[in-house]
Structure 1
Amino acid sequence: MPDDSLALLSVHEIARRVRAREVSPVEVLEACMAQVDAHNPRLNAVVTLNPRARDEAAELERRIARGEDVGALAGVPVGIKDVTEVAGVRTTYCSPLFADHVPTEDAEVVRRLRAAGAIILGKTNTPEFAAGGNTFNDVFGVTRNPWNPDRSPGGSTGGGAAGLVTGMFALAQGTDLGGSLRIPASFCGVVGLRPSVGLVPTWPQEYAWDPIQVTGVMGRTAQDVALGLQAVAGPGEYAPLAQPILGRDFETAVRGADVRGKRFAYCRDIAGIGIDADVERVCRDAAFALRDAGATVDEIELDLAYARRPFLALRGHWFVSQLYPHLDKLEHFGVNVANNVRAGLKVTPVELAEAEVTRKRIWDQFRDLFRTYDQLLTPTMAVPPFPVEENFPRLVAGREMETYIDWVAPTFVLSMTGLPVASVPAGLDSAGMPVGLQIVARPQGEEHALATAGIVQRLRPLPRPPILSAG
């Protein structure tokens, strides 16, 4: 196995060493490329390498030598989800319809990462048009979980999570409609943050006024995510939905995190679909461990099951809006995308109105909760990682799921809130697989969710994954 010590450094430490000229960005990139060579044939996390990555790292090295300020992410290798455009790099949306598509312009999030000094290593695997909680498609095939390659890494940012665990890159960009940054974070043992709608520009996309899908980052630690978020957050010239970030310092908030005197609510099953007992045990232990750091933790009942059906109406509308220019090619999409579009075409104005009224109801419910508690803690997933060959788990705690997306209800009902939601590793289950805990913060409270995530990581550190020690 290659020496992975450089590739697995934190984002902060990579950037510090690169700026101090203790290590070159080319050396960091080569260390991550060695991890791609070692683990990608088995995991299939990276689907397209940036052909100019080495040239871009060398140019960054020359800029540093000239004394230029190269940014907070200097030399940090990043994986970009293959639904996000990178100029000059094949971006397929993991759909056969776009298998040879090469954009001419970076997405805004990619442009910002580059401006902060990051090096785009390549594109990461995802379901076709990010539709699903498992990562497979007809262009690149299946991505596997680095903790157990027979298991799913989750989705839809599954390639990003699997690549992070194995040091293929230090930061992963992704998107989250119903849990796509949180599900793989839970299954693979990394930190994912669904930011508030509009905090990170989602340009370009067909559904420009999208009120539910967001763009964000995943990292191995809460501090890594905070640094990545600082680089990409803030209003954009072309994105109509925006939130100001003036005066907000995500990384400092994580570094100085303190939960003494804070009140947390823990709910075991917010979506009413049941939960695997082993998963719930790990999440409960992690939540109540915050008492050791000086917090108050209460168990509460919080029923958000009423949001499940309205979310599916919004999801269907989202797919029709996003894929509107390609509706005449419906028969060429994979089954998950095609079924989502067909479901969306059947959504009525009354159902959309009900969904919007439901969003108001859930917003008011959380407004009431935050009068008593600082944050909500709840399991990210109701099940452990399932066999990678399955599209989705059909049973949750012995109960059959109605659709292929029902099993991710613990994440998608929280998408309805528009609130910042982090997923942090809570520990390992009895099979040695990671389990994630969701942290829901107040409006515009991303730094507070990440601060709590950092403390959970300190209290409940994960061991080194077996794949990194295998011969």
Structure 2
Amino acid sequence: MADQGLVKETACAVVDKLKAGDVSPLELLDVLETRIAAVDGKVNALPTLCFDRARTHAKTLMQKPAAERGLLAGLPVPIKDLTNVAGVLTTQGSPIFKDTVPAKSDILVERLEDNGAVIYAKSNTPEFGAGANTFNEVFGFTRNPWDTSRSAAGSSGGAAAALASGTAWLAHGSDMGGSLRNPASFCGIVGLRPSIGRVAHTVAAAVDRNLGVQGPMARNVEDLALLLDAMSGEHPGDPLSLPSPATSFLSAARSGNKPKRIAYSPDLGITPVDPEVKAVTRRAAERFAELGAIVEEAHPDLREAHECFHVLRAFDFAISKAQLLRTKRDLLKPEVIWNIEEGLKLTVEQLERAEAQRVALAARTLEFFDSYDLLLAPATIVPPFPVENRYVAECDGKKFDNYVEWLGIVYAITLACCPALSLPCGFTASGLPVGLQMLAKPRAEAQLLAGAKVLEDILGVRGTTPIDPRPPR
């Protein structure tokens, strides 16, 4: 019987055991299969399993010497259901693709497998990743392990819930308007939106689409850095992709480098925020002062964020999904139809204005980092909400105009092109996780990870996951 105690080990510790020969990839798959059978029915994080494929891959990997099995050395990793894995059901959360089995994997998946990842599951996502609550007509809702009546957020909600409930050591996610950061915040784990090009992926719809990026999710900062190392690197199939840095991200996370000057903003000047979330994140940010860092309340000018993101996101949906609207409209959820139609109504003048707004916003944010090493803010403006609510309609007395406006605190950072992560930083009075959004200037993931690890050590929240899914209180 495989050791279920391994579920609680960090990814870095498990990889060390793999490299030392203390455990095999096949044993880890047995551990996960048992754990999934025990807990996933309560959260629905990993609706598609591919253990036969995983064991075949693991056996092939095990024919190599341990030192030649890649950075992850045979560690199992789930892939978000928006991303193709060869021979595995890939639905994108849509009835249109409910039976689709791609013949070829995404560049990202090939990179991970080359680096020793063993793919054993697909994690749940909203239809086409639209919306920050993970539910779809194919697999249903993903629930928050901290309180199964609550949302795991989205769109990487399945990945976050798997990490929190112990059915994954590491997980792949993606982020356009907070889709890595929101679920990380709601589920008490760490999620990183990297810089544009940091993680190569297969190009679709347009060569230069860059609102959405692929990224790592984990239970702690070191594990996150390990997965980023395994994901990173340039690839000719992705013309925007960046080469891997000379120093690994894991080394950067472990460097102990401390930021000297920190900015904290409770709202980035653009959104209401739940008072309890403000209080928890502010307390966490102020703890940098224990290291001798200056902590000040400040933020860059992000005033165009709502108008700019609405236009650019709608345009992205139009170029990537208009054909589905024309041919499969009856199978699309209302929010996806709205997104596509908003995009098809755009004029060239609106696009011109939005692109200019993004350039100005990004330039001001970059200038802001001349004065500060890191900017901190809430990762999500509310604690985890009831799972049956499709989205957040109002916060702190303000009603939102549409179903994505409540995500302004994260999508403003998408527009600024900054790497940003959500770090568990505390809990509400009712025991629900709160995430602190931490960001650095573009391509400064090493600095960001170092700062996040230093704060993680101070806060003492690391190690609170995995948990057994908890019923509603």
TM more than 0.5: yes
TM superposition shift of 1:456: 2.0
1:182-224, Cα deviation, whole Å (9 max, x unpaired): 0101100111111111111120422332021111111111111
Instruction: Give CA deviations for 1:245-293 in whole Å, capped at 9, x if unaligned.
Output: 2414211010112216x11101111152211111111100110101112
Determine whether 1:7 maps to 2:15: no
By how many angstroms is 1:303 displaced? 4.3
Tell me which of 278, 301, 304 is aligned to 2:302. Answer: 304
Q: How does 1:32-431 map onto structure 2 within 5 Å?
A: 32-50=32-50, 51-64=52-65, 69-259=68-258, 262-328=260-326, 329-431=328-430
What amino acid maps onto 2:64 in structure 1? Answer: R
Task: Kindly indicate whether the alpha-carbon contact (under 8 Å) linking 1:46 and 1:159 is maintained by their aligned counterparts in 2.
Answer: yes
Alpha-carbon deviations, 1:139-167, whole Å to 9, x = none? 00000001111100010000000001112
CA distance in 2, matches of 1:60, 1:242: 27
The CA deviation at 1:466 is: 8.7
Q: What letter matches 2:464 in structure 1?
A: R
**Equivalent residue number for residue 18 of structure 2:** 18
Q: Does 1:28 align with 2:53?
A: no
Distance 1:112 1:8, change over 3 A: farther
Amino acid at match of 1:289: R
Aligned residue identity for 1:24: S
Q: Which amino acid aligns with 1:139?
A: V
Shift of 1:452: 1.5
Equivalent residue letter for 2:165: T
Question: 1:83-131, CA deviations, whole angstroms, 9 ceiling, x for partnerless residues?
Answer: 0000000001110000000011111111111111111111000000000
- Contact 1:187-1:434 within 8 A present in 2 as well: yes
2: CA distance, partners of 1:263 / 1:42:
43
SS of corresponding position for 2:143: coil
Q: Given residue 468 of structure 2, which amino acid in structure 1 is its aligned partner? A: L
Instruction: Give the letter aligned to residue 52 of structure 1.
Output: R
- Please tell me whether the aligned partners of residues 145 and 469 of structure 2 are also in contact (alpha carbons under 8 angstroms): no
Offset at 1:464? 3.1
Gaps in structure 1 of 5+ consecutive residues: none
Q: Which deviates the most, 446-455 or 155-164?
A: 446-455
CA distance in 2 between partners of 1:60 and 1:461 (Å): 36
- Report the Cα offset of residue 302 of structure 1: 4.2
Offset of residue 37 of structure 1 = 1.0
Aligned positions, number:
467
Whole-Å separation in 2 of the counterparts to 1:368 and 1:207: 29
CA drift at 1:408: 0.9
Contact between 2:263 and 2:299, CA under 8 Å: does it hold in 1? no
Shift of 1:310: 1.1
Please report the RMSD computed on the Cα atoms of aligned residues, expressed in angstroms: 1.8
Whether the aligned pair in 1 keeps the contact of 2:123 and 2:159 (CA below 8 Å) is yes
Measured against aligned partners, the alpha-carbon deviations of 1:232-256 in whole angstroms (never above 9, x if no partner) come to: 1121121121223241421101011
**What is the distance in 2 between the residues matched to 1:44 and 1:250?**
31
| Deviation at residue 330 of structure 1 after TM alignment | 2.7
Task: Give the 3 Å change call, closer, same or farther, for CA 180–290 of structure 1 in structure 2.
Answer: same
Q: Work out whether residues 300 and 365 of structure 2, in 8 Å CA contact, stay in contact via their aligned partners in 1.
A: no
**Partner Cα separation in structure 2 for residue 415 and residue 101 of structure 1:** 30
CA shift for structure 1 position 5: 2.4
Q: So what's the TM-score if we normalise by structure 1?
A: 0.95
**Residues of 1 paired with 2:120 and 2:401: CA distance?**
39
How high is the sequence identity, in percent, across the aligned residues?
A: 39
| 1:470 CA displacement | 6.7
Contact 2:438 2:448 in 1 (8 A): yes
Q: Which secondary structure state, in structure 1, belongs to the residue aligned with residue 215 of structure 2?
A: strand
Give the SS at the match of 2:82.
coil
* Stretch deviating more after TM superposition (90-99 or 166-175): 166-175
Task: Tell me the TM-score normalized by structure 2.
Answer: 0.95
Pick closer, same or farther for the CA change 1:274–1:446 going to 2, 3 Å: same
